[in-house]
Amino acid sequence: MRKYTLKPAALYIMSGALFILAALVTLLAVQYLVSVKILMYSVIALFCVTAVLLGLILLPMYFRRTVIYISPYEITVHSGLIFLRRDHMKMSAVQYVTRVSLPLSGFSGFNFVILRALGGSIVLPFLNSVDADEIVETVHLEISKRQ
């Protein structure tokens, strides 16, 4: 059995992007909504609160809580923020694997592996490139053993 966690770089990038977006919206609001003060403050507050909530609390919690366990027999993912969940899939149920990698995913951790079974799928998000390769290889090996 092998334990995988999510790559923190993806968290830093998303949190950073959120704060940059909030700062940009604040600048635009100050520039263009100054005549409607109440609207300006509302927009700034909404974006700043969302950025802080997501970037400093929810996303770090999600990254900390998400753990992937893969053995030759099963795949289990523990995740969730408000609703905690454990997803379990037997290796024998997996039909095929989809790997999605965004540009610069080796650095950013935007690698996703989707394990597809007849009637359900499990998404393994924000993986290290090496981990994603290893997972895909493990699952392919198990599928080929069935032939």
Contact residues for another protein, defined by CB under 8 A: 1, 3, 67, 69, 74, 76, 78, 80, 82-90, 92-93, 117-122
List of residues 6+ apart from 37 with CB closer than 8 A: none
Query: Which residues are bridge partners to 75 per DSSP?
Result: 70, 89
Least distance (Å) from another protein to the CB of residue 71? 8
Q: Which of residues 57 and 102 has its CB atom nearest to another protein in the complex?
A: 57
Least distance (Å) from another protein to the CB of residue 69? 5
Q: Which of residues 1 and 38 has its CB atom nearest to another protein in the complex?
A: 1
d(CA 89, CA 79): 14
Q: Which of residues 74 and 142 has its CB atom nearest to another protein in the complex?
A: 74
Q: Is the dihedral of CA 48, 127, 93, 95 positive or negative?
A: positive
Q: Are 108 and 132 in contact (CB under 8 A)?
A: no
Least distance (Å) from another protein to the CB of residue 138? 16
